[in-house]
Structure 1
Amino acid sequence: MSISEIESKIRELRQLQALVDEAESEMETIKDALKAHMGDSEELRAGEYKVTWKTVTASRLDTAALRKAIPDVAAAFIRTTTTRRFCVA
């Protein structure tokens, strides 16, 4: 691929990312409007559509507190992973 082709692809990528960002922002605006309408209700029905907005409780391990309280145990269970991060600047 030539430099001009790469530049063209990057330009296209940035334009598509801008469209995705705009669509995600619009989605959040619509979701927020529906949530405001729902108030404390967990379910909304509109024609063929059913919207739910339920409270979910999750339990997660506080790794920072574990490392501080018992660092030897925390160190024994740490798993290191390696990935490649793609970034266009």
Structure 2
Amino acid sequence: MKNSEIRKTINELQELYTAQELLKAQISEREQAIKEEMEAREVEVIDLGNVIVRFTSILSNRFDTSNFKKLHKDLYNLFVKQVYSKRFSIA
């Protein structure tokens, strides 16, 4: 691939990134509108026939890594694992 082709592809990518952000914002707005309506109706499920919308509360347990690290640093260090990865960026 020539540099000119890479530039063209990068320009296309940047346009797609912009479109993606706009779509994410639109999706978020519409989701928020539905959530607000469901809260106003005080319901967790709306059955529309061909689609069911759920906005439910979920209780989950999460491991507090930062607090564990403070209280048990030696034990934490025994289980730390380095991971190799690559990062792609355009600046």
* Aligned-pair identity (%): 26
Secondary structure (helix, strand or coil) at the match of 2:88 reads: coil
Which aligned segments of 4 or more residues in structure 1 are displaced greater than 3 angstroms? none
- Structure-1 separation of matches of 2:45 and 2:20: 28
Residue of structure 2 equivalent to 1:32: 32
Q: Deviations over 1:38-84 (max 9, x none)?
A: 00321012231110011111211111111111111111111221111
Instruction: Please give the TM-score of this superposition, normalised by the length of structure 1.
Output: 0.92
Secondary structure (helix, strand or coil) at the match of 2:77 reads: helix
Aligned residues: 89
Structure 1 gap segments, 5+ residues each: none
Residue of structure 1 equivalent to 2:70: 68
- Structure-2 separation of matches of 1:2 and 1:68: 51
Instruction: Please give the TM-score of this superposition, normalised by the length of structure 2.
Output: 0.90
